[in-house]
Amino acid sequence: MTFDTLQDEAQELLPGAVELRRDLHRHPEVGNDLPRTRDRILEELDDLGLELTLHEQTSGIAALLAGARPGPTILLRADMDALPMPEHTGLDFASERDDTMHACGHDTHVAMLSGAARLLAGRRAELTGRVLFMFQPGEEGHHGARFMLEEGLLDVPPLPDGTPSPVEAAAALHITSALPTGYVSTRRGPIMASSDTLRIVVTGAGGHASEPHRALDPVPVACEIVQAIQTMVTRQVDVFDPTVVTVASIHAGTTTNVIPDECEILGTIRAVSELTRLRVHDSLKRVAEGVAAAHGAGAEVEILHGYPVTVNDDDFATFAASVTEDLIGEDRTVLLPNPVMGAEDFSYVLHRLPGAMLFLGGTPEGTDPRTAPSNHSTRVFFEEDAMIPGIALYSALALRHLGVA
């Protein structure tokens, strides 16, 4: 069987997907507690005959579709949380909640996965195996996927005859304004970076700004630490196994004529391998403490572990690229030469299962992806027609993995 009709079926589902997407966009919710979003998704899935599990630690939903014949289980994920930021798109369905916006396209992810659930439920008689639809909150820094895994997401029940049917693979789509609409990209191996938070508190001794020699000013020490960090990155980290350390905030003092006791440095650490990630953590501590000690100051380094590296399974990424080529064409399938330095908590799922993250282009027509407002911009907008290949691709990955197509 080929994928000849999948995009036509997805086209028929587009009006419903657009309606759901716009409803969620008007009423965004942040974090792991998304009561309205969950209720709206449950309403959308109500007539599909899925086995639903509502998670208790979060608003996560696990919806299991059983095919007509026994076989493996594949997981398909959509994240569903918004960001705490204003919206400046001017859309007639713009957010109605102050300082809350679906600026990363998770509303489209939910709409596409809901559409794929409806498409696949209509093909239940063809399925040899099962599909686990994972509707996940808290992707934007709240570790929603980890909470769902800890709560037993992958502990799917056996088949009616008692035969085990564990989840064997996982896939997720993420819309982006950095690709033309309808294009899909992925790669083997690391596809997104880890993300950790850096906090350094430099301690000196305060005093009058007119007499710095009688104080120990932590501000120039902090500035020197920032410069030393950048030198450390360029001189101690393999350029082919990169890291990005960005200092995004430096704060000290309360007025113009007082040398403060402390200076706080805040930033983020990104890496595309766990080995480099841990080495950089050690180096940051050594550099900060060493520079501070050279000036007689102190430095307390705190690193908060965030999401691990998102690593696509080589075989599944090859499989997913093949499915994409068959569905939308080789000319619209892009194999990324390098990872993206953003982070994703789908990484937790891919640490447990072979699978892949894929990016779906959603740049509005007539807009250059190189200059389009990016994900997390207050002005970002995604072409809704991109949900047609998105619905079809979610469905195609499941169908081929279960041996139907």
For residue 129, CA distances in Å to 155, 202, 310 come to 16, 57, 26
Catalytic residue, from 183, 307, 348, 394: name it: 307
State the Cα–Cα distance between residues 212 and 216, nearest whole angstrom: 7
Token pair of 127 as six digits:
């399925």
- Residue 96 bears catalytic tag: no
Give CA angle at 60 (54, 66), nearest 5°.
60
For the chain, what is the largest distance between any 2 Cα atoms, rounded to a whole number of angstroms? Answer: 82
15 DSSP assignment? H
- Residue 307 bears catalytic tag: yes
Contacts of 20 (CB under 8 A, 6+ apart): 40, 44, 110, 111, 114
Which amino acid belongs to residue 11? Answer: Q
The CA-based dihedral angle spanning residues 334, 335, 339, 341, taken in that order and rounded to the nearest 10 degrees = 0
Token pair of 324 as six digits:
């994409």
Contact 391, 362 (CB under 8 A): no
For residue 298, CA distances in Å to 85, 214, 253, 264, 367 come to 36, 17, 17, 12, 50
- Catalytic residues, which ones? 307, 384
